[in-house]
Amino acid sequence: MSNESTTTFPQKDELLQELAATKDQLNILLKQHEELEVKSKSDVKMLVKEVKSLRKTQTELKQKLDMSLQERSEVEVGFGLLFFFSKCAFYPELGESVSLVPLKFSSCSIFLN
């Protein structure tokens, strides 16, 4: 029996050392997990703020685009009218009310893209 007890105790000590090492490794892994979880939450908060900022910027840019397109349309109409009037002749002999009469209908049409 003494032979069994001497072989059992060294195995027990060895297993206890393995258990302690495993517990230490587990504690290290738990600490790393907590740190990564905190960092992940921080990253998510930062990304949420960034998405909100981008959505706001997108809305502002869409409004600016709409305004630019409206201005462009108004300018094109203005240039179209200018082109129209430049292709028309004045007929002052019609009296004080000067009227514009197109020289050619096709040369007075307005094309907007």
Domain boundary assignment for the chain: 2-86
pLDDT at 45: 97
**Is 105 strand, coil or helix?**
coil
- Please, which residues have CB within 8 angstroms of residue 108's CB and are 6 or more apart in sequence? 84, 87, 88, 102
pLDDT at 78: 80
**Is 101 strand, coil or helix?**
strand
pLDDT at 28: 98
Output the pTM of the full model.
Answer: 0.48
CA–CA separation, 35 and 33 (whole Å):
5
What is the number of other CB atoms lying within 10 angstroms of the CB of residue 99?
11
Enter the tokens of residue 86.
């430049």
Segment-wise mean pLDDT, segments of 10 residues, the chain, 113 residues: 58 93 98 97 97 96 95 85 65 47 46 45
pLDDT at 3: 52
